[in-house]
Amino acid sequence: MTTPEAPLFDRRMLEALVCPLTQTTLSYDSEKHELISKRARLAFPIRDGIPVMLIDEARELD
């Protein structure tokens, strides 16, 4: 029995995406499936292979 997998995030998108708050580069957390803005201390979710780059949808990092 196979389970459907979530679409993979294309890491080449990291070259084009920046944090909407700080305009700095992002890193990819493959375990949590998020894009991380270290400067803003925010984690942006990736849903169905699409990064959600809305500040209201981001998770604050500890």
Indicate whether 9 belongs to any domain. no
Evaluate whether 42 touches 30 at the Cβ level (below 8 Å): no
- The answer to whether the predicted template modeling score (pTM) of the entire model surpasses 0.75 is yes
The CATH number of residue 44's host domain is 2.20.25.10
C-alpha to C-alpha distance for 24 and 37, rounded to whole angstroms? 7
What residues make up the domain containing 48?
A: 20-60
Indicate whether 25 belongs to any domain. yes
C-alpha to C-alpha distance for 1 and 27, rounded to whole angstroms? 34
C-alpha to C-alpha distance for 26 and 23, rounded to whole angstroms? 9
Indicate whether 13 belongs to any domain. no
Distance between start and end Cα atoms, the chain:
38
Q: What is the pLDDT of residues 4-54, one digit of tens each?
A: 555 577 778 788 899 999 999 999 998 999 999 999 999 999 998 889 999
Q: How many domains does the chain have?
A: 1
